[in-house]
Amino acid sequence: MSVIQYENVCKKFAGSSKYAVDHVSAEIESGEFITILGSSGCGKTTLLKLTNRLYDPDDGKIIVEGVDIKTVDPVELRRRLGYVIQQVGLFPHMTIKENITVIPSLMKWDKRRMDERADELLKLVGLEPAEFRDRYPHQLSGGQQQRIGLARVLVLDPDIMLLDEPFGAIDAITRLNLQNELLRIQGSLGKTILFVTHDINEAFKMGNRVMVMNEGRLLQFDTPREIVQHPADAFVKSLIDSARTQEKFWEGAL
């Protein structure tokens, strides 16, 4: 059953004659890990923000869990989806526990439930609750902050998560760990994930299927294997080739 449907979605920003998102259509099934790949300005972040109504489309429809999101209250939609940005944006004046339980506290959960949930999520993302719950964001490393960012959006147990280059600002070693953690979490919880990245290796490693975008258009949407074996156009082919060239370098060096 498809959990997200993009139907001819278009978005233009004021003052620009070019489409930021240009007639994108795609269907995403429940439990899939979809990576959205493209370089800066290709529309991948805009597509993500259209999905949780941080932007509204100029044309076309987006259907989430069977409902046209135009008819849904944006705040309620955003709480139902999870959304993580590259800089994470942890609230510097709140402890880690308070950061994680921001939305539950606005929804008036009782204290004990919030404390338990915070500890549960800290364990899930691989951080010791007793050590981290009362710390402040500035006391954490970049990788740890990203883990808290994930914990914060998992608090309401959303079925769908939107991640915008979450590991972009992380060093390569930590990124590898976080990628594996995320795959583990997604595998055990069965969530549908949309993961934006400009890194072709990350996109192909993480995604069941990959959306390749350029200049607002969706060029190809398929499994990594299919894309490598049958690139849809010259641009996709050039992406594959650039990754291959890198691989050859490593093989040559060894």
Partner 1 sequence: MIEYIRKHPEKVLGALTEHIELVLITLVISLVIACLLTLLAMRSERVSDALNNLFSVLYSVPSLALFALLIPVTGLGRTTAVIVLTLYNQYILLRSFTAGLRDVDPAVCEAAKGIGMTDMQILTKIRVPLARRAIFAGIRLAVVSTIGIGTIAASINAGGLGTLLFEGLRTINTPKILWGSVLSALLAVSINKLLKMVENRL
Smallest gap, in angstroms, from Cβ of residue 92 to partner 1?
7
Does 14 sit near partner 1 (CB under 8 A)? no
Interface residue with partner 1, options 2, 87, 95, 177 (CB under 8 A): 87
Q: In angstroms, what CA-CA distances link 190 with 18, 31, 160, 169, 186?
A: 37, 5, 10, 26, 5
Smallest gap, in angstroms, from Cβ of residue 169 to partner 1?
11
Q: Alpha-carbon distance 185 to 180, whole Å?
A: 9
Residue 235 in tokens: 């641009």
Residue 203: partners with Cβ closer than 8 Å, 6 or more residues away? 35, 36, 37, 195, 197, 210, 224
Does 157 sit near partner 1 (CB under 8 A)? no
Smallest gap, in angstroms, from Cβ of residue 75 to partner 1?
5
For the residues of 20-76, what is the DSSP string, one character each?
EEEEEEEEEETT-EEEEE--TTSSHHHHHHHHTTSS--SEEEEEETTEEGGGS-HHH
Does 147 sit near partner 1 (CB under 8 A)? no
Smallest gap, in angstroms, from Cβ of residue 86 to partner 1?
8
CB 45 within 8 A of CB 198: no
Does 151 sit near partner 1 (CB under 8 A)? no
Interface residue with partner 1, options 1, 14, 15, 92 (CB under 8 A): 92
Does 91 sit near partner 1 (CB under 8 A)? yes
Q: Alpha-carbon distance 109 to 250, whole Å?
A: 52
Cβ nearer to partner 1, comparing 93 with 112 = 93
Q: Which of residues 47-86 bind partner 1 (CB under 8 A)?
A: 52, 54, 75-79, 82-85
Does 35 sit near partner 1 (CB under 8 A)? no
- Coil vs helix vs strand at 210: strand
- What are the residues binding partner 1 (CB under 8 A)? 52, 54, 75-79, 82-85, 87-93, 102-103, 106, 149, 152-153
